[in-house]
Structure 1
Amino acid sequence: MSTATSTPTPAAPAARARAAAPLPSTLTLALARTRIELVEFFRERDAVIFIFAYPIIMMAIFATVFDDQVQSDGSVEVAFAQYFLPGILATGIMLTSFQTMAIDLAVQRDTGALKRLRGTPLPVTAFFLGKVGQVLVNTGVQVALLLALAFVVYDVPVPDAEHWATFAWVLVLGTATGTVCGVAFSSVPRTGKSASAVVTPVVLVLQFVSGVFFAFYALPGWMQDLASVFPLKWMAQGMRSVFLPDGAKALEPSGSWELGTTAAILGAWLIVGLVLGTRTFRWRRRDDG
């Protein structure tokens, strides 16, 4: 009586080796996820056009229509294109961070993409870092295009090195705040189809009350008080401190740029967004358990 002996196939050791192999580092996975997010984003051509073209079109329209007007309190005069640029930069950050993140995550949840990703070995940290990477790249491209338009076409003065440093921290802190708040707000829409209808009006209202389309000091007092609660007003004010002459701070309701307050309020919203996002974020639809 012969006994059959089983010989391991060559594929078995290789399969065990693959199973035992450690995952790449979180940073490596985050960079890979960023590339995937960017590819998926640029495939949605209508979203790409809106995100990148909207601030540029608004800048061109307002700077052309109000080309001969200035903001003045009797001691300082600022061309409208120069005054309008900081608000457009701030709303561009809001679009690429808060609005894009809130809508994108709501749609991915509705289609089941988030649920499927949650079932993969991809760390949650790497997934969200990939989202942040996408936002940073998109924000950088948008800001570069808008500044090129302002400097070349509308002769907006180029800031000095000290003001560029302020620009950098307002940009980074504003982008981070908008991103985490977008993650938190993504749980508000009940479905992916309703996401745009829920998120877009919020952004539009904040634009109008935060002095993006109008001089902030000309808005009613109650509107200024309302805007002061939210990040967009402070992002715009921080940007005005960069691109307007120092004397223009007299145009602010407080008579100063309030950069310390800007950092404090943006930081507070960053913490609020992190806490709410951690507690309310959902990987599945409401009807999926």
Structure 2
Amino acid sequence: MTATRERTLPSVVEVCRTRAGVELKEFFRQRESVVFTLMFPVILLLVFGAVLDYDLGHGVKFTQYFMAGVIAAGILGASLQNMAISIAAERSDGTLKSLAGTPMPRSAFFVGKIVQVLVVTLALIAILLVIGVLFYDVDLPSGTGWLTFAWVTTLGSAACTLLGVAVSSLCRNGRSASATVTPVALFLQFISGVFFLFSDVPAWLQTVAALFPLKWMAQGLRSVFLPDVLAAEEPAGSWELGRVALVLGLWCVVGLALCVRTFRWQDRGTD
């Protein structure tokens, strides 16, 4: 006589935790992703910090200004670029279709991606801040500056992650994803005050940049790394933190709506 035991299915929380672990392992096992997502912003900071170490006035060096931009660019890479390219590749090689056919709640897939972006973003920010302090004497935020830093990076990362998931559906396949997404990301970085002073960007390009979250994320981060006297150099003559929160929040809503409407578990034309 054999006893039968009922097998209980794991809870949704356990499944999400397991999926998050899988996503992190897969990310850190892919050298190209690690180098591009984590090391590229570090290389930018080291190169631009060494070459463009000049005074902006009021005792502020360009590296202090660039710290805000390179963190914003790093968040864009860890969220929008990373999500768009990796999800497109997983859709193209059939991984998403296989996952959709398992008992795993589909929400666990997205939770895993969000956790991956969160961990990578925190690691990237920590590395950039350490290098900035050790090599270029970058002043860290103080007091309520850390609170502003937290909500700007959180809203910016959320908006870019949702957009990355949505943009992945625009890529024809995994092979074309990088070629589709990377040029757009670089263009936004050039016009959003990442590599140059935003005040030096032509007015019409400033208008284009203002349509996307990267410009507002960089502006919000500048408010915590730069003295208030430099707020006069911004287009509106202030940091506009209220508008930063509003625009990034709206992009979160838009990104979520686009995800719901466009996300696919398999490539177009496949059954």
Give distance in 2, aligned partners of 1:139 and 1:146: 11
Given that residues 216 and 252 in structure 1 are in contact (C-alpha distance below 8 angstroms), is that contact kept between their aligned partners in structure 2? yes
Asked if 1:56 is matched to 2:38, the reply is no
What's the CA shift for 1:10? 3.0
Given that residues 31 and 133 in structure 1 are in contact (C-alpha distance below 8 angstroms), is that contact kept between their aligned partners in structure 2? no
What is the correspondence of 1:63-142 to structure 2 with a 5 Å cutoff? Answer: 63-67=49-53, 69-72=54-57, 76-142=58-124
What is the correspondence of 1:38-49 to structure 2 with a 5 Å cutoff? Answer: 38-49=24-35
How many residues are treated as equivalent by the alignment?
271
* Alignment equivalent of 2:2, drawn from 6, 10, 22: 10
Q: Output the amino acid matched with 1:277.
A: C
Give distance in 1, aligned partners of 2:2 and 2:186: 62
Q: Find the counterpart in structure 2 of residue 26 from structure 1.
A: 12
Q: Which has the larger radius of gyration?
A: 1
With normalisation by structure 2, the TM-score equals 0.97
Give distance in 2, aligned partners of 1:130 and 1:159: 30
Given that residues 82 and 243 in structure 1 are in contact (C-alpha distance below 8 angstroms), is that contact kept between their aligned partners in structure 2? yes
For the aligned residue pairs, the C-alpha RMSD in angstroms reads 1.2
Deviations 1:96-143 (A, max 9, x none): 000000011100000000000001111111110110000000000000
Given that residues 42 and 48 in structure 1 are in contact (C-alpha distance below 8 angstroms), is that contact kept between their aligned partners in structure 2? yes
Asked if 1:230 is matched to 2:198, the reply is no
Deviations 1:4-40 (A, max 9, x none): xxxxx737x23xx22xx2x333222211111100111
What is the correspondence of 1:158-177 to structure 2 with a 5 Å cutoff? Answer: 158-177=140-159
Give distance in 1, aligned partners of 2:22 and 2:52: 41
Q: Output the amino acid matched with 1:10.
A: T
Given that residues 51 and 96 in structure 1 are in contact (C-alpha distance below 8 angstroms), is that contact kept between their aligned partners in structure 2? yes
What's the CA shift for 1:70? 2.0
| Structure 2 SS opposite 1:286 | coil
Give distance in 1, aligned partners of 2:188 and 2:195: 10
Moved more, 174-183 or 76-85: 76-85
What's the CA shift for 1:77? 4.2
Give distance in 1, aligned partners of 2:13 and 2:254: 25
Q: Output the amino acid matched with 2:156.
A: G
Give distance in 2, aligned partners of 1:97 and 1:275: 17
Deviations 1:59-85 (A, max 9, x none): 111111111x2224xxx3420100111
Asked if 1:264 is matched to 2:246, the reply is yes
What is the correspondence of 1:145-164 to structure 2 with a 5 Å cutoff? Answer: 145-164=127-146
| Structure 1 SS opposite 2:60 | strand
**Structure 1 gaps, min length 5:** 1-8
* Alignment equivalent of 2:162, drawn from 180, 183, 187: 180
**Structure 2 gaps, min length 5:** none
Identity %: 51
Give distance in 1, aligned partners of 2:75 and 2:165: 15
Deviations 1:208-259 (A, max 9, x none): 1111111001111001010000000000000000111111111111110001
Q: Find the counterpart in structure 2 of residue 5 from structure 1.
A: none
